[in-house]
Amino acid sequence: MKRIICLHTLTPDQIAKIEQVAPGYTVTVAKSTDISSETVSDAEIIVGWSKHIVESALEANSKLKWIQTWSAGVDTLPLKRLEQRGTLLTNSSGVHAIPIAESIFAMLLSFSRQLHVAVRNQAEGKWEPKLASAGALTLTELRDKTLVIAGVGEIGRETARLAKAFGMKVIGVRRSGKALPDVDQMYTMDGLHEALSHGDYIVSILPLTDETHHLFDSSAFGAVKPGACFINVGRGPTVDTPSLLEALQTGQLGCAGLDVFEEEPLPVDHPLWKMPQVVITPHVAGSTDRYTERVVDIFVQNLQAYVNNQQLPRNLVDYSREY
């Protein structure tokens, strides 16, 4: 009997759904810290990933042929070793589109209507109708503002759709430069700085690759429209943190909404915590009570193709691009 391991909790119905698609396989559901190395090396398919199973999964006698990650990003996986083994790798791109797009707009609306300032004033019992915070935008509207989206994949497309509903102009930046609905103007990555110069609000949804590491540096922040708002829901290391701090301190950036950081958890003494123009969330923008069902849907669709010796139709990672 061939084995599928899932490192995340599944309902009995979800397990049955997987078994129905792949009747020749047994499904093992366990935490990475509770599963034996023998069981890991016996698995042909692993759903999820963990540092605790790396050596067992990649040993010479491992039966591993395919990994379906639980996340959209794959930067924490040993990509070179997986590529050398010829291991198929699929991610969970698309699972996060709705919750992250809504998290982006939670931040956009917080900054445009200064809700983050009101909440802080509430905690101190302060009645302050001006709702002004150092360096932050004053009370304004999203309508007619320009939103720049760096990394227009599934999340970016959903964000653009919502932005148009708010009457915003949308500028996109993506590797291919290919036009998309709801994006008024699209740039390639070479045009990032030009795109940034037009944005009232800038959202980074970029994956972490060699190309995007510290892409948002002092040069990039120097290119933004003074006082613009920056939101990062992609990957923390795409941003050079000292350059971000400097841009916030000088007012080059008016505010920032940050869900991801170069170092996580963000150290308790980090100056970002106390900046009144910054909203911090602990890498939860993609969290939703519908997460598991969406990952399972992607996996089952791919599994159906896999057992029929067909190319996996959803989210096959290109090792050369690292996503």
* Residue given tokens 């959803």 in the structure block: 314
pLDDT at position 135: 46
CATH of the domain at 231: 3.40.50.720
How many Cβ atoms are within 10 Å of 122's Cβ, its own excluded? Answer: 10
What residues have CB less than 8 Å from 171, skipping those under 6 apart? 146, 147, 148, 149, 183, 184, 185, 186, 187, 195, 198, 199
Same domain, 209 and 302: no
Q: Would you say how long the chain is, in residues?
A: 323
The rounded mean pLDDT for the chain is: 96
Give the domain range for residue 164.
Answer: 97-280
* Closest by CA position to 152, among listed 93, 219, 227, 217: 93
* 313 falls within a domain: no
Same domain, 198 and 162: yes
Same domain, 217 and 131: yes
In angstroms, the Cα distances linking 68 to 9, 64, 156, 308 are 15, 11, 22, 17
Condensed to tens digits (0 to 9), the pLDDT of residues 1-48 reads 899 999 999 999 999 999 999 999 999 999 999 999 999 999 999 999
* E strand or H helix that includes residue 303: helix 291-307
Same domain, 50 and 120: no
Q: How far apart are the first and last CA of the chain?
A: 32
> Is the CB of residue 103 less than 8 Å from the CB of residue 245?
no
> Is the CB of residue 285 less than 8 Å from the CB of residue 103?
yes
Give the pLDDT band of residue 294 (cuts 50, 70, 90): very high
Same domain, 179 and 214: yes
Is position 235 annotated as part of the catalytic site? yes
* 212 falls within a domain: yes
> Is the CB of residue 138 less than 8 Å from the CB of residue 192?
no
Q: At what angle do helices 97-112 and 115-123 cross, to 10 degrees?
A: 70
Same domain, 62 and 173: no
How many Cβ atoms are within 10 Å of 80's Cβ, its own excluded? Answer: 9
Is position 211 annotated as part of the catalytic site? no
Question: Structurally, how many domains does the chain consist of?
Answer: 2
* Closest by CA position to 291, among listed 92, 67, 77, 48: 92
> Is the CB of residue 301 less than 8 Å from the CB of residue 315?
no
Same domain, 16 and 133: no
In angstroms, the Cα distances linking 74 to 82, 89, 261, 281, 323 are 11, 9, 16, 21, 7
Same domain, 81 and 121: no
* Closest by CA position to 288, among listed 71, 7, 98, 13: 98
Catalytic residue from among 81, 128, 264, 290: 264
Condensed to tens digits (0 to 9), the pLDDT of residues 141-169 reads 999 999 999 999 999 999 999 999 999 99
Condensed to tens digits (0 to 9), the pLDDT of residues 74-112 reads 999 999 999 999 999 999 999 999 999 999 999 999 999
* 323 falls within a domain: no
Same domain, 108 and 89: no
Give the pLDDT band of residue 137 (cuts 50, 70, 90): low
Same domain, 118 and 203: yes
* 132 falls within a domain: yes
Q: What would the two tokens of residue 113 be? A: 């209507």
Secondary structure of 65-128 in the HEC alphabet? CEEECCCCCCCCCCHHHHHHHCCEEECCCCCCHHHHHHHHHHHHHHHHCCHHHHHHHHHCCCCC
Catalytic residue from among 120, 157, 270, 283: 283
Condensed to tens digits (0 to 9), the pLDDT of residues 198-248 reads 999 999 999 999 999 999 999 999 999 999 999 999 999 999 999 999 999
What residues have CB less than 8 Å from 141, skipping those under 6 apart? 112
Same domain, 89 and 213: no
∠ Cα 135 287 189 (to 5°): 60
Same domain, 148 and 227: yes
Cα–Cα dist 291/294, whole Å: 5
Is position 264 annotated as part of the catalytic site? yes
